[in-house]
Amino acid sequence: MLSVPVVQLVLTVPAALAVLAAPAVDEETVTPGPLGFAVVLFLAIATWLLLRSMNHHLRKVPRDVPRDPEDEARQEDVRDDEER
């Protein structure tokens, strides 16, 4: 048969584990902390740099792009097909 100390140990171990597994802070006051701030800051800076690079590259694109005569012919074909 099981002795009394073994029964007490079996009954107290799950209770002790429940106490250890309990959250240490109130769930309503949890904040992201410094790591969350660092991630958001990194994403904001990366977005700003990407937008800045995109604007730089778009400034290099000429506003008056020469048109290809084949493109104009295709557009006329599409217009003719739409009229039918």
Q: In terms of pTM, does the model score above 0.75?
A: no
Domain ranges of the chain: 31-62
* Chain position carrying tokens 């109130």: 26
* Chain position carrying tokens 């250890």: 20
For the stretch 24-76, pLDDT in tens is 667 777 788 899 999 999 999 999 999 999 999 999 988 887 677 777 777 77
